[in-house]
């Protein structure tokens, strides 16, 4: 069932022996992603050679699976005519992306060899703003008109199928290219051949807009379990489709991006979408430094707090020894809460009207956690660290207060951010942690003053 893949060394032999026909035959039946994998496993130059000698359609399919640097390299090694042939067979969204990575002069040379409609399609797709539906959509979808019969439609689709990304869904358009309905292939083969398309088409459609954020469009595809979503411009004219596989890629990238933001790396969408190795160290430093500087600025508030309460430290022996432990715990509790809230917001489980309920819930959770951890802290400070009861009580009470406080802040900040239209995942764990640190110290020392009544002079 699953064919044994030809091992890379065997492939190398075929390549060196110039057995191009043998190579073409071998690859002919493989999934393009498998072919791409084999190419990646070889030496760079060998992989490029293999890619260059694949038959047209397969080459175009495999191109979509290889990394962007290789795509650019291979195209730059081709003649303009060869490259134009590749573009002709490539899926429309992938070739537009590739064009955006090539040198402008080179692109002109290549496009000169294509028909005008194709040239215009490539230019148009490549011009959409990064991050929008327009930038990820493809234009090789099948269209039908409402007045034709099912038999005529099937004939048309049979004819167009080789050039279309998909014919599993056809899009029914009026003379102005406005979308009127959608016809799943399933429905076509089940219908009587004499029915008209307008009789069987699905009119209730979920659509995307060409300037809509690509993550929003991907979420629609996810929510409605769509195979593909039609993309319309401001005049309701159909301009492209986004397919489920692209949606999955979008969501995967955006969600790993959230992990980055959550870890406090600069929230720069273009850089975040870059692969790990792509930026040089200078680029990485440039991305991380702003946040670290900002957090350093925020963290510096602990200094005046400590200075202000320094006299308490002078009066109460060993009070300083617990500081990192206490604010560390506050930071951890806040971090947990932020993660939970961000997830709840991102899965739409927490909605607009829920703010007070969430705060109450997190506050109570902090109370319970604080009571338990505070008890642990109390006994830890006295029995393990040998501190007298007053100091141990201080530690216990502070842990309790810090947990309540950190949970409340950890919930409040992402909720407020969401309300203000800021991406809550940008409110990273470090940000919350830092907020909790300075205020946690205030709590510690104020409670200490209450417990120890040190005289200040």
Which of the residues 74 through 133 are near a second copy (CB under 8 A)?
none
Characterize the bridge pairing of strands 179-184 and 208-209.
unpaired
Identified binder of a second copy from the candidate list 289, 375, 379, 388, rule CB under 8 A? 289
- Cα maximum dimension of the chain: 99
Identity of the residue, 45 or 281, whose beta carbon is nearer to a second copy in the bound complex: 281
Give the separation between CA 12 and CA 112, rounded to whole angstroms. Answer: 35
Site residues (CB under 8 A) for a second copy, limited to 378-407:
380, 385
Strand order in the sheet with 179-184: 141-144, 166-173, 179-184
Identified binder of a second copy from the candidate list 52, 115, 216, 372, rule CB under 8 A? 372
- Of how many residues is the chain composed? 457
3-state secondary structure of 176: coil
Identified binder of a second copy from the candidate list 24, 101, 112, 186, rule CB under 8 A? 186
Q: Which two tokens stand for residue 36?
A: 């791409």
Helices and strands of the chain, counted as H and E runs: 24, 6
Radius of gyration of the chain (CA): 30
Is residue 59 involved in binding a second copy (CB under 8 A)? no
Identified binder of a second copy from the candidate list 62, 83, 150, 221, rule CB under 8 A? 221
Binding residues for a second copy, how many (CB under 8 A)? 121
Identity of the residue, 47 or 377, whose beta carbon is nearer to a second copy in the bound complex: 377
Give the separation between CA 57 and CA 77, rounded to whole angstroms. Answer: 19
Identity of the residue, 111 or 381, whose beta carbon is nearer to a second copy in the bound complex: 381
Provide the CA 264 distance to its chain's centre, in angstroms.
Answer: 16
Is residue 416 involved in binding a second copy (CB under 8 A)? no
Site stretch for a second copy (CB under 8 A), options 12-20, 69-77, 110-118, 162-170: 162-170
Kindly tell me the burial class for residue 7, based on how many C-beta atoms sit within 10 Å of its own C-beta (0-12, 13-18, 19 or more): exposed
Going residue by residue from 332 to 371, which x/- string records binding to a second copy, judged by CB under 8 A?
Answer: xx-xxxxxx-xxx-xx-xx----------x--xx--xx--
- Smallest separation (angstroms) from a second copy to the CB of 112: 31
Identified binder of a second copy from the candidate list 11, 378, 400, 441, rule CB under 8 A? 441
3-state secondary structure of 233: coil
Site residues (CB under 8 A) for a second copy, limited to 129-158:
154, 157-158
- Smallest separation (angstroms) from a second copy to the CB of 269: 14
Of residues 304, 271, 275, 273, the one with CA closest to residue 288: 271
Q: Classify residue 131 as left (phi > 0), alpha (psi -120 to 50) or beta.
A: left
Q: Which two tokens stand for residue 1?
A: 């069932």
Is residue 270 involved in binding a second copy (CB under 8 A)? no
Render the burial of 111-125: b for 16+ CB within 10 Å, e for the rest: bebbeeebbebbeeb
Q: Are 171 and 203 in contact (CB under 8 A)?
A: no
Is residue 189 involved in binding a second copy (CB under 8 A)? yes
Identity of the residue, 59 or 302, whose beta carbon is nearer to a second copy in the bound complex: 302
Going residue by residue from 13 to 42, which x/- string records binding to a second copy, judged by CB under 8 A?
Answer: ----------------xxx-xx--------
Site stretch for a second copy (CB under 8 A), options 42-50, 68-76, 120-128, 218-226: 218-226
Is residue 325 involved in binding a second copy (CB under 8 A)? yes
Identity of the residue, 121 or 272, whose beta carbon is nearer to a second copy in the bound complex: 272
Identified binder of a second copy from the candidate list 373, 378, 401, 409, rule CB under 8 A? 373
């Amino acid at each position: 069932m699953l064919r044994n893949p030809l091992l890379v060394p065997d492939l190398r032999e075929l390549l060196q022996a110039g057995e191009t026909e043998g190579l073409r035959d071998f690859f002919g039946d493989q999934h393009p992603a498998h072919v791409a994998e084999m190419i990646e496993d070889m030496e760079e130059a060998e992989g490029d050679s293999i890619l260059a000698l694949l038959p047209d359609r397969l080459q175009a399919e495999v191109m979509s699976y290889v990394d962007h640097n290789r795509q650019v390299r291979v195209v730059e090694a081709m003649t303009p005519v060869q490259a134009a042939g590749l573009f002709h067979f490539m899926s429309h969204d992938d070739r537009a992306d590739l064009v955006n990575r090539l040198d402008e002069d080179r692109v002109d040379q290549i496009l000169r060899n294509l028909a005008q409609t194709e040239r215009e399609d490539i230019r148009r797709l490549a011009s959409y703003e990064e991050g929008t539906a327009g930038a990820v959509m493809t234009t090789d979808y099948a269209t039908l008109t409402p007045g034709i019969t099912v038999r005529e439609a099937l004939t048309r689709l049979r004819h167009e199928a080789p050039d279309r990304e998909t014919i599993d869904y056809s899009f029914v358009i009026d003379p102005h290219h406005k979308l009127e309905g959608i016809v799943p292939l399933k429905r076509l083969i089940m219908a009587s051949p004499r029915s008209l398309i307008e009789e069987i088409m699905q009119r209730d459609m979920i659509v995307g807009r060409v300037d809509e954020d690509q993550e929003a469009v991907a979420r629609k595809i996810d929510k409605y379990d769509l195979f593909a979503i039609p993309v319309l411009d401001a005049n309701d004219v159909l301009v492209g489709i986004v397919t489920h596989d692209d949606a999955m890629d979008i969501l995967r990238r955006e969600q790993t991006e959230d992990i980055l933001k959550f870890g406090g790396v600069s929230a720069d969408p273009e850089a975040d979408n870059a692969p790990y190795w792509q930026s040089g160290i200078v680029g990485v430093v440039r991305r991380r430094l702003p946040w670290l500087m900002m957090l350093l600025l925020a963290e510096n508030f602990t200094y005046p707090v400590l200075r202000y309460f320094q006299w308490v430290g002078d009066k109460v022996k060993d009070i300083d020894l617990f500081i990192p432990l206490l604010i560390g715990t506050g930071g951890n509790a806040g971090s947990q809460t932020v993660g939970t809230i961000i997830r709840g917001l991102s899965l739409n489980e927490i909605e607009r009207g829920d703010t007070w309920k969430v705060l109450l819930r997190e506050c109570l959770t902090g109370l319970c956690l604080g009571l338990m951890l505070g008890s642990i802290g109390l006994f830890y400070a006295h029995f393990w660290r040998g501190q007298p009861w007053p100091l141990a009580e201080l530690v216990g009470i502070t842990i309790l207060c810090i947990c309540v406080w950190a949970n409340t802040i950890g919930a409040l900040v992402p909720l407020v951010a969401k309300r203000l239209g800021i991406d809550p995942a940008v409110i990273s764990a470090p940000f919350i942690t830092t907020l909790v640190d300075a205020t946690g110290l205030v709590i510690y020392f104020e409670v200490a003053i209450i417990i120890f009544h040190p005289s200040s002079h």
